[in-house]
Chain A
Amino acid sequence: MKTVRTTCPYCGVGCGVKATLQGDSKVAIAGDEAHAASRGLLCVKGAALGETVSLEGRLLAPAMVENGVLVDSSWDAALGRVATTFMNIIKEHGPDAVAFYVSGQLLTEDYYIANKLMKGYIGSANIDTNSRLCMSSSVAGHKRAFGEDIVPGCYEDFEVADLVVLVGSNTAWCHPTLFQRILRARTQRPGMKIVVIDPRRTASCELADVHLPIKPGTDVWLFNGLLHYLVREGALDADFVNTHTSGREAALAASLDCADPLFVAEACNVEPQQLLAFYRLFSDTEKVVTAYSQGVNQSSSGTDKVNSIINCHLATNRIGRPGMGPFSLTGQPNAMGGREVGGLANMLAAHMDLDNPVHRDTVQAFWDAPRIASKPGLKAVDLFQAIEAGTVKAVWIIATNPVVSLPDADQVKRALAKCELVVVSDIVLGTDTNAYADVLLPALGWGEKDGTVTNSERCISRQRAFLPAPGAARADWDVLCDVGRRMGFDGFAFDTPAAIFDEHARLSTWRNGGDTRRVFSLAGLDGLTPQDYDQLAPVQWPLGAPRLFGDGVFAHADGKARFIPTVPRLPVHTVDDAYPLALNTGRVRDQWHTMTRTGKSPRLASHVQEPFIDLHPQDALLHGVRAGDLARVSSKWGQMVARVQHGGGMARGAVFIPIHWSGQTASDARVGAVVNPAVDPVSGEPEFKHTPVRIEPFGVRWHGFILSRRVLKLDSVASWTRIQGTQFYRYELAGRNAIDDASAWSRALLGIEDAAADWIDVEDKGSRTYRAAHLVDGVMDACIFIAPTADLPARAWLASLFEAGVLSTPQRMGLLAGRSPEPVADVGPTVCSCFGVGRNTICAAIEQHGLTDVAGVTACVKAGGNCGSCVPEIRQLLAAPASV
C-alpha cells in the first residue's frame, strides 16, 4: 500500500492530499501535513475523493457518431477524423473557424499543449476556457493595475492579517480549508476581525464580525466610497502612491459622488453606520487582506470591482507585504496554471500578450512555430455565439460541460447542435454536453493523470497518478499532441508531462528581461530531470518570493501600479415588472461544478440533496410559491424548476439557485439556462450573479420518490432529481400526468419486466397512493412511493435497506410502511458530512448536555471535528436549535 502525495482537484486552494490505494481497490484519503497550502487540512469534498474514483459512468473508449448513432471507435479513427476535419475547415475557412474550449481543471501540461497547438500552429487565439466564467475579471483587473496577472500575496497573509474582508465569497463553503486557517488564526489572535460583504447571509457570515449585506452589483460604489474615505481620513500613503503608482486623481475624480458615505450607503442599501464602521475598521487596520471571489468576478462590471478593491490597497500601500493585499480566490484547481500558460483567448503564453508584437515574436521564436495568433480569440460566450452563427465550425471541448455551466445554456445547445464537428474529451460518458458530441475522447481523471497545477497563491504542486489509466483513456496532453502531429505539426513530440513542464518553464524564462521582462518566471524549475519533476514538492513561483510587489515595483513598463477609474454601473439587465427578482447563482458546500465526480459520493449527496430556489419568505408569499413545493424560475433566456426553500440568508428581491444540477441529475434544474449572457466589457466574464427572473408555482398532480440500484430513464416524469446513495440512486419525483395502472406504470419505470418478479405493493386508488418494492433473492433492488402530496415516508430507513443484504421479515414487512417496525431515532438532515451527524443528533446533544460552543458539540458527537465546514451550521444550532 503505497501512499501518493497529490493535490485536490476541486477549488483553487489546492490542498495537499495523501492517497493510498488499498487492497480492495478502495482509495484512502488523508490531508497532507507537508503541503503548505493546507497543512493537512481537507474539506469534506476533498476527504470524499476516494468515493469518486470508481469507473461507474466513465467514458472508457473513443466513440464517434456515425449515421446518427454513437459507436465505439479506435483512437486512430477518432483522432484521424478530428485532425482531418480541423484541417479541412482551416483550409477552407481559415484558422478562426475552429476553436478549443477548455477548462481550469486541465493540468498545466495539458493546457500548455492546447494553447501551443491553437496559437502557434493552427494560428488562431480561439482557445478559451471555463476559467472565463470564474476569474477572468481578476485577470483583467490584475493586468490593468499591476501590468501582469499576478496575485501578490499568499495564504499566510490571511493568518497574519488583522482584518480579513471577504467580498462576494462564501469562503466557508467554497474554500473551506483556507477559511479554517482564518478561523484558527482568529482563535489565536482574538483581535483579528472578519468582515463579509455579500448580498446573501452565507455560512461565512456566521463566523464573521461584520456582515455587510450590500445590494447585488454595488461593490464598486462601496470600494469607491472606501477610497474617498481613506483619502479623507488621511490613511493614504502619499509617498508610496506618488512614487509607485499613477492615476490616483483620475480614479478619485471618476467616483466623486461616492465621496458621500450616505450616497454610498443608499446605493448599496446598507445602514450608513454599518458602512462607516467598516470604512473605519479598514482605515485603521494596516494589515488587511481583501479576498474576493465570484461575487466580484461574475459581473458585467467585474473588472471594475476588482480594480476598485485594488485601488484601496494601492492607496494605503497594503500590497505584497505580510498580512496585506487584495487576494483573488480562484474557484478551480488549475485556473492559475491555465493563466500561466496563456490558455485564454486574450492571452498569448507565459504572461505575454497577443497584442504585443515583441511578445508574439518571442513566443513564436521559442516554439519555432509556423504561425502565431495575432489578435484575441473569441471569449467563451462569444465563442458559442459564433458557433451558432456558423463562423466557428469545429470545436474541441475538454474537461468542461458548457451546456450546463455557460450562461444562456440553451443557446449552447443550439450552437452545438449546429456545429459541424463537436469533439469532447471527458472522463464521463453521460453529460449534457456529450449528448452533442460527434467525437468523444476518453480522458484521464484525478488519480490517473499526472502533471502540475497552480493554486491561488501561485503554488505549483503535483497531481500524481496512483491509479492505472482505465480502458482506452489517455492523457489530454497526449491526445492533443497526437492531433497536432496528425495535422502535420512539429513541436508536439512529447513523451512525458515532465518534458512539457520543462518547455513551459523554459518559455517563462526565455528572453525574460528588459522590454520583455515578466514577473512570471519558473526560473529554477527549468531543466528538471524526470526524477526531479516526479518528486517536485509544492513550490511557489517565482522561487523564493511568497509575496510580490512589496518593493513597489510593478509589472507595467514604468514599474508603477495603476489606479483605475471605476465608474459604478448597475448590472446590464435590471429587474422590472415582468422579471422582478434578481437571480444569484453559486455553489453549495458539498458539491463541485456539474457533479460528475462529487455526485458519485453518497456522503456528499447527503448535505444538500436537491436543487433548490432560495428566496425571502415574503417574496415567496408574494409570488404564490411555498417552501417545499416546486417552482419554476424563468428569465428572458430560459427556465428551470426546483424546490423552494427559505434558507434564511436571502434579502427581499433576491433569489439564489445552486449551479450544480444538470440534465443527468435533474429533469430541469440547469440554472445556466436561466442566466443572462451579459458579460464584462473588459474581461468577457458573464454576469452569473444578476439575472432578472420571475418565479411561479410548478403545479404537480403527484409527488414521489424512487430508490433504485440502477440509473433510470425518467423522461416521462415532469420533475425528477437524482441523488447518489450508498449502493442506490434516489430519485425525487413529481408528476403532472394521472397514473392509471400504478403497478404497471411503476414496473415499467423501474424496468421490471419479469411478471414473476418479487414485487410487493400497496395501492390506495382512492387517495392516489401507491408504494411498491422490487426485491431480488430477498435483497432490496428498488422501491417507489407515490402520493398526491409531498408527505412521504422518510428515505433514510429505506436507504439503509440497500446495505442490509437479505431482508429480515420485519424489514420486508416494514418496507412499504417506509418505517422500521422497531422505532429508530431520526437523526435529521446531515449537518456534518465527515462523520455523518444529523441535525437532530446535534440538537439533542446540545439540549442534553447543555452545550454552548462548537467544541462541546464536537466533543460530544464528533460533528465539526474534521473539516469544520459545518461549524457555521452548528453555531446556528447552538444559537437557536428550535428555529432551524
Chain B
Amino acid sequence: MDREVTQMRKPKQSLVVVGNGMAGMRTVEELLKLDRDLYDITVFGAEPHGNYNRIMLSPLLAGDKQVDDIMLHTRAWYADHGITLHAGDPAVKIDRKRRFVHSKKGLEVPYDRLLLATGSSPFIIPIPGHALPGVVGFRDLADVATMLAAAIPAAQAVVIGGGLLGLEAANALQRRGMQVTVVHATASLMNQQLDPPAAALLKAALEDKGLHFRMATQTTHILGSKRVDGVQFADGTILKAELVVMAAGVRPNIALAQSAGLHCERAIVVDDTLQTYDPRIYAVGECVQHRSSTFGLVAPLWDQARVCAGHLAGAGHRRYVQKATPTKLKVTGVDLYSVGDFIGGTGTEELILRDRRSGIYKRLVIAGNRVTGAVLYGDVRDGPWYFDLIEQRTDIGSLRHGLLFGEAYCAQGAAA
C-alpha cells in the first residue's frame, strides 16, 4: 500500500538555491514552513560551511562570540531536512533553456525553480597595492580568520571606511589589541545613518575607546612589497599598517545572473514577488534590486524571504513592500539608532535633544505631523517606538511636545 501511495504522488519539483547565506536560507526556512514536501532542494554555497549569521562577524572578530555561536544552520540541519548542500562549491553557470545549474566542481543540477541569493562582496578600492596580502574585506569567516591572524597586539591596522561595518571591524580589532585608524572619505562617520552631531558624538566615544580617525581623507596607495606595510593618503602622508580592512561599501554579486542573461542593473532586478525577469527564477537579499533600491541590512531580507517563499510555495499573494529599516551599531558602550529619513529637507521639521555631557543626542524628522526619521545616540530605548510611529504613520500632533522624552513619558502624560 505504501509503495502504491508513494507512486501516486506527483514527483517533487526541484528547487536550486544559489547562495548559502542568510537571505537564501531564510527563504528556504519560510518555504519549509509553508510546504515541506513541495521541492527537492539543493543548495550551492561558495563558503565551506553551513549557514551562519553574518551580522555576528564583528562580535566574533572582537572575541565576544565563537564560530559555533553564530551558526544558524549546521550541516546536520540540511540533512535532517532532506536538503542537499554543496558547501564550498559555488554555482558557476545557469543554463536557463535546459534549466540546469552548473557548479565549479562540475555538478549539474536541474531546477524547476531557481533562487538566487548570491549576496554581495566588499568593494575593494582599486588603488595600487589593493591586492597585497593583508588587505581584506569584512564579509565572511575567511576574512575574520585573515584579520585574526594579523591581529597581533600593538600591530597597526587601517580600516578604510567609517560606516557601520568599518567601525565594527575597527572596534573589534582594537579590542584584539591592535592600534586601529579609521580612514573616512567624508567629515562625518556613518553618513548613511547619522547626521553630523550624532556622528561627532560617536567619533568622540570611539576615540575614548582608543580608536584613531583620519576624516575627509582619501587613500591613494596601499604600500608594501610582499605584504601590506602601510597606506598613503592624498596629502602624501603615510601610515604604517600590517592590516588594511576595506569597508568602503559592497557590490552585489550579479556576475552569474548577468552571464545567464537575466536583467540586471546595479543588481538583479526583481518585482514585488521577488521574481526576476525569468519567471522560474527568484532572487533575494543583497544581490537584488527592487524598485531601484538595493539592500544591506538584515530586516528587508527577512521580509523578502517571507514574500519569496510564499510564491515558491504557490501561495502567491504576498507582495514585498520596502520599509524604513532601523540601524544599530554593535559596539559595546555605543548606542545608536537610526531609521528613516534622518536628514530631512524642505517641508520637514526637526525635534532635537542634545545632552553632550551624557553623550545623548536625539533627532526626529517630522513631515506633515508624522515622524519620518529618527537618529538616536546614547539613549536608544525609544528607537522601536519611533520606528513604530514611522511605520504606522501615526499623527503625532498631541504627542509632539513629549515625543523626544519617549514613550514612557508620553504614556505617563496620557494617564495623568
A residues engaging B (CB < 8 A)?
Answer: 758-767, 769, 775, 812-814, 816-817, 819, 821, 823
Contact = CB atoms under 8 A, between A and B. Distances in A.
Contact of A817 (B356, B366, B400, B409): B409
Contacts of A761: 352-355
Given A759-B356, A817-B409, A765 B401 contact: no
A765 B405 CA distance: 16
Nearest to A757: B357
A412 to B, nearest CB: 45
B351 A762 contact: yes
A763 B405 CA distance: 12
Contact of A816 (B350, B353, B416): B353
Nearest to B356: A759
B404 A821 contact: no
B352 A775 contact: no
Given A763-B351, A765-B350, 11 more contacts: A759-B357, A761-B353, A762-B351, A762-B404, A764-B349, A764-B400, A765-B349, A767-B349, A812-B355, A816-B353, A819-B412
B358 interface: yes
A767 B350 CA distance: 10
B353 A762 contact: yes
Contacts of A821: 408-409, 412
Nearest to A772: B354
B402 interface: yes
A743 to B, nearest CB: 8
Contact of B401 (A758, A767, A814): A767
A819 B366 CA distance: 24
Nearest to A809: B358
B402 A817 contact: yes
A764 B400 CA distance: 9
Top 4 closest A-B pairs, CB basis?
A: A766-B349, A817-B405, A760-B355, A758-B357
Interface of B: 349-358, 366, 379, 400-402, 404-405, 408-409, 412-413, 415-416
28 contacts: A758-B357, A760-B354, A760-B355, A761-B352, A761-B353, A761-B354, A761-B355, A762-B351, A763-B350, A763-B352, A763-B353, A763-B354, A764-B349, A764-B352, A765-B349, A765-B350, A767-B400, A767-B401, A769-B401, A775-B357, A813-B379, A814-B405, A814-B409, A817-B402, A817-B405, A819-B412, A819-B413, A821-B409
A823 B413 CA distance: 9
Contacts of B412: 819, 821, 823
A289 B349 CA distance: 69
Nearest to B355: A760
Contacts of A775: 357
A606 to B, nearest CB: 22
Nearest to B364: A764
B401 A764 contact: yes
A761 B355 CA distance: 7
A812 B358 contact: yes
A819 B352 contact: no
B361 to A, nearest CB: 11
Contacts of B354: 759-763
Contacts of B402: 817
Contacts of B408: 821
A768 to B, nearest CB: 11
Nearest to A792: B401
Nearest to A762: B353
A762 B412 CA distance: 19
Contact of B405 (A766, A767, A769, A816): A816
A813 to B, nearest CB: 8
Nearest to A758: B357
A758 to B, nearest CB: 4
A762 B402 CA distance: 11
A823 B357 contact: no
A767 B366 CA distance: 11
Nearest to B412: A823
Contacts of B413: 819
Contacts of A816: 353, 404-405
A810 to B, nearest CB: 11
Contacts of B356: 758-760
Contacts of A759: 354, 356-357
B100 to A, nearest CB: 60
Contacts of A765: 349-350
Nearest to B357: A758
Nearest to B409: A817
A776 to B, nearest CB: 11
A760 B400 CA distance: 19
Given A765-B350, A767-B400, A812-B358, A823 B416 contact: yes
Contacts of B353: 760-763, 816
Nearest to B369: A766
A812 B353 CA distance: 13
Nearest to B379: A813
A760 B353 CA distance: 7
Nearest to A826: B416
A769 B353 CA distance: 12
A819 B409 contact: yes
Nearest to A759: B356
Q: Which of A760, A775, A817, A819 has the most CB of B within 10 A?
A: A817
A764 B353 CA distance: 9
A798 to B, nearest CB: 14
B362 to A, nearest CB: 9
Nearest to B405: A817
A880 B358 CA distance: 48
Nearest to A766: B349
Contacts of B416: 823
A680 to B, nearest CB: 54
Contacts of B349: 764-767
B350, B357, B379, B413: residue with the most chain A Cβ atoms closer than 10 Å:
B357
A758 B360 CA distance: 12
A356 B313 CA distance: 122
B366 to A, nearest CB: 7
Contacts of A769: 401
A764 B352 CA distance: 6
A759 B355 CA distance: 6
A245 B274 CA distance: 115
Nearest to A767: B400
Contacts of A767: 349, 400-401
Contacts of A762: 351-354, 404
A325 B312 CA distance: 107
Nearest to A775: B357
Contacts of B379: 813
Nearest to B362: A762
A817 B411 CA distance: 13
A761 B357 CA distance: 11
- Kindly name the residue among A761, A764, A819 whose own CB sees the greatest number of chain B CB atoms within 10 A: A764
A812 B356 CA distance: 12
B408 to A, nearest CB: 7
Nearest to B349: A766
A767 B349 CA distance: 9
A766 B401 contact: no
A345 B350 CA distance: 66
B253 to A, nearest CB: 44
Contacts of B400: 764, 767
Q: Report which residue of A758, A759, A760 has the largest number of chain B beta carbons within 10 angstroms of its beta carbon.
A: A760
Contacts of B405: 813-814, 816-817
